[in-house]
Amino acid sequence: IINNKKSLEFEKEIENSKKTLLETDDTSLRYSEKTKVLSDIMLEDFVIAKIKNSDYKNMVLGTVKDLVRWEQKYERAILAAASELMNAMVVNKTEEMAAIAEYVKMKNLPRIKIIPLDIIKKYNQEDIFEEKDLLHIGRLSDFVISKHNELVSFVFGNTVVTRTASDAYLLSKKGYKVVSINGELFDPNSELVTLDFGTKIQDITRDILLSESIEKLRELVVKLKNIIENKIQEYNKILYARGKIELENAQIEIHTNEIQNQIEDKKKTIENCSQENIQLNLEKEYLKKEEMDMIEEIEKYTNRIEKIEKTAGMLFQKINSINDSRFRNQLAEISVKKNQILKTIEKIDLQKQQIMIQDTSLKNEYESNQEKIKLLFDEIKELKEEYIRRENQITLFNQKLDENELALESLRDKEQELIDMSGDSYSVLQNFEQRLKILYDDERRLSKETNTLEKEIALLQKELSTLANLENKLLNDLMWYGHKELLHEDYEVGEIINALEEEFELLKSQINLRASETYVQVIEGYRGMSQRRNELEKERNSIVLFVNEIIKEKESMFIAAFKKVNEDIQSIFSKIIGGSAWLEIENEEDIFGSGVRLVVQFPGKPKRESTSLSGGEKTMAATVFLLALQTIKPSPFYLMDEVDAHLDGQNTERLSNILFERAKNSQIIMVSLKDSLISKVNQVYGVYPKNGVSQLVKYKFPQNYTQDKILSIEQK
């Protein structure tokens, strides 16, 4: 039961660590997605971050914005004049520029600007002013500070600074590149005017470099996931091996019981064979005795036959000599008697043969029984050896089981370390567990000390009773010898006192005189520890109850949000498409451990999961799902990019109605090419090309404009 409880705790800790790792992975994924979006927008910062994180980072001195400084009041002018070169990388030599360019080409990275100092050192700043030109403040490079003067001259040397845009315009007509303090940039001869009032230096490079750390964190999370999976597999293997060992132990116990039963049966069989052997020996003795008696009778009959034959021979001789009928009759009678005697002898021989056959069969049976007994003894010996071997196997399996339990404990320790690295959600509870364990150890230690003291007291009491009995016995012996009182004369009292003092000192060193006081202290400490233990158990139970209440509250909030989103999905999908859609929890028994799937049924089609839909169907399902999610926590505005591209006119009309309802509480920004949707909006921005330049036109409430009015506005 304890091992099963520990296994459940171990599995619960593994699930908690999995959840923590999933949350970490989700956070890093969201951050990496944000960084990816930024890297797509800020291509130059992305390339700079890649180069700074490569082997070529030592070649790069920095970007222009890193190597120059300026006064705050000239910031807009400087940013407007050098907006295209602020992210340019600066290197010392042309060879370094070529190496970095080759690296960018090899990695297929976007374009990047590189300024080699050895080339721009040859750039000579010309005097671009005339004495009569008093509209300017000065050369822009005069207001920029850097230890690389050639870089400042190259970037800002041909630009003039003025106080106003009108002065800048007049100077640009004379062929100067002019920028005002407010950031209006005029190219020579006023060919191009650039207005910049809000540009700021944004250092996205650090965030992109930080994304590398996030990637490493994600790799670490993946490694931790793999470690946990491996530990789970090892734990399952240990559980499997443990179950297998327990099964083998049960089989061994069953086999051992069978062997013991067989041994008992064999013992009974041996006892029966021994009794049968004794009976056979008795029968053998009896048959031997009968055989001896029959042999004696046969010898007697044989002697009689010989005598009779001799007598018969003599009689035949007499008969031959005397042909008297009377003798013949006697001879016939004698022949009859002879035949009877011969028949009797044959019967006796037959009985003798039968007895010999029985004796032989008994001998054979005795020998076979002896062989059976020998085989039984051998089998018993083998069974005993098998029993001993099985016991050794059981001992070995128990040792392996202990080793596996130790390995399991070590794995639990490692898993605990991983859990400590990933989170400390149960640190307070574990602290109480440790304190309880310390109190348990103190309680066991105090119990042992108490038992030891009680044993010492019992031994001392036993010794006292033994001494009292010995004293009574000696007094009785004295009284038996006639001494009713103790003898007090002729004794060296000093020697006796010295001996008694030595014995007292010896006993004093062996007896704990403060045993009773220590016992009282131990008992009081034990009671205090028990009371403290009960208090800690109450605190632990209250913490567990609090955690369970939080889990129930979290589950109820999730169910409420799930039901609301599910109802909104059904309503919105039915309004837009006319079909049905709903959410399902994969495992209702484990809500937070399982996922949620979106099931969609379009008109005239069977229901399917969102993962098996086509591209247009997925777009519609995703739009409905996002709109339903916003009912829980509405956003201030929505940004959509052609979500109606795969809808027909009727469905587009339905979608526009829903978006129009949502627009009452939130602002909706949407890219669309459908007339039915654009006709209902409050403001439209149109983009069209003209002479290779994108032009922008804006309409408020386009439903109030006719086509002729729109064309006239476009012509103006």
- The full set of domain ranges for the chain reads 44-203, 259-422, 428-483+494-541, 565-715
Which DSSP symbol is given to 691?
A: T
CA 352 vs. chain centroid, Å, equals: 89
| More confident site: 591 or 18 | 591
For 381-430, how does the pLDDT look when each residue is reduced to its tens digit (9 = 90+)?
887 787 788 788 788 877 877 787 787 777 767 666 655 654 554 565 56
Distance CA 333, CA 72 (A): 173
Q: What is the largest CA-CA distance in the chain?
A: 209
CA distance 688 to 695: 5
Task: Give the model's pLDDT for residue 178.
Answer: 80
Give the per-residue pLDDT at 210: 43
Distance CA 244, CA 526 (A): 43
| More confident: 206 or 598 | 598
Q: Which amino acid is at 361?
A: S
CATH class of the region 44-203: alpha beta
Between 330 and 133, whose confidence is greater?
330
DSSP of 170-224: HHHHTT-EEEETTSEEE-GGG--EEE-SS------HHHHHHHHHHHHHHHHHHHH
Confidence of residue 671 (pLDDT cuts 50, 70, 90): very high
Strongest mean pLDDT among 221-235, 363-377, 564-578: 564-578
Residue-wise pLDDT tens digits, 298-345: 777 777 777 776 776 676 666 556 555 665 666 677 777 767 777 777
Specify whether the CB–CB gap between 432 and 539 falls below 8 A: yes
Mean pLDDT lowest for which of 12-16, 269-273, 678-682? 12-16
User: CA–CA separation, 470 vs 491, rounded Å?
Assistant: 21
Q: What is the mean pLDDT of residues 294-298?
A: 76
Q: Who has greater pLDDT, 705 or 298?
A: 298
Res 58 pLDDT > 80: no
pLDDT of residue 582: 92
What is the CB-side half-sphere exposure of residue 350 using CA atoms within 13 A? 6
pLDDT, position 392 = 82
pLDDT in tens, 630-668: 888 788 888 888 888 877 787 788 778 888 887 888 888
CATH topology assigned to domain 565-715: Rossmann fold (3.40.50)
Q: What is the pLDDT of residue 315?
A: 62
Q: What is the pLDDT of residues 184-218, one digit of tens each?
A: 777 775 554 555 544 444 444 444 444 455 555 56
* pLDDT category of residue 31 using cuts at 50, 70 and 90: very low
Q: Report the Cα 281 to chain-centroid distance in Å.
A: 75
Q: Where are the alpha helices (DSSP H) in 42-74?
A: 43-52, 64-67
For the chain, percent of residues with pLDDT exceeding 70 = 74
- 259-422 CATH pick, 2.40.10, 1.10.287, 1.10.3470, 1.10.10: 1.10.287
At 39 the pLDDT is 46
Contact by Cβ (8 Å): 158, 177: yes
- The pLDDT score that the predictor gives to residue 704 is 61
pLDDT at position 336 is 76
Mean pLDDT taken over the chain = 74
| Residue from 593, 586, 492, 637 nearest 18 by CA | 593
